[in-house]
Structure 1
């Protein structure tokens, strides 16, 4: 079992107006790509309203999850899946005008960490590699 899952979720809890369209775009993206690792899956789940004050919105995870290979067992070219997701999130940012958060979830502890904001149509893939802890690509 992999130790980490990458997530790429739209930021915010006020997603009612874009939920259906965004989810359809995510499903279409997953279906139309060739994936080197596992096939990502669409996540659309709202947090509990228990304990919220009037007017507060529950958390809302809406985006993609991708199981990552364990360190030292990465197949050649595996990071291209992560780059595809980041670039797609950049396009969604432009379309919806919303930020996407890329982060990691630890399967053992359940702890998640936000690592990277996709706040432009062209995310910085070099920086993404650095924050995820991937060596830069080898130059021949």
Structure 2
């Protein structure tokens, strides 16, 4: 029934978060007329609820790296709608990226810059503050 498929491992997540994101919030987003066509081929990898400073909580939704451009087009609307569903919780969309260890001595294989620890952490920071840009 849901076109926005989730590839969540139910044992890794608290059940209420997995059920909330999959069945309730995303279904409501998909049924709204303005987002229906844009959410057709999108899905998520995982969702985690984390504690933030103070007494706040945040829901971090990991999306596939290949779909990040499609999510960026509708990022503001998705976050706004999900924050309405999860009252009192912040919602953050982060692309799933891979960190590759440095090559060993004598190895001819070069590691791409996008797979380094520093580059992945910088990209995650960019994802967290997505509607704005980091300057300086």
Give yes or no for TM over 0.5.
no
TM-score class normalised by the smaller sequence = 0.3 to 0.5
* TM-score of the two chains, using structure 2 as the length reference: 0.39
Higher helix share: 2
Larger Rg: 2
- Return the structure number with greater strand share: 1
TM-score by length of 1: 0.39
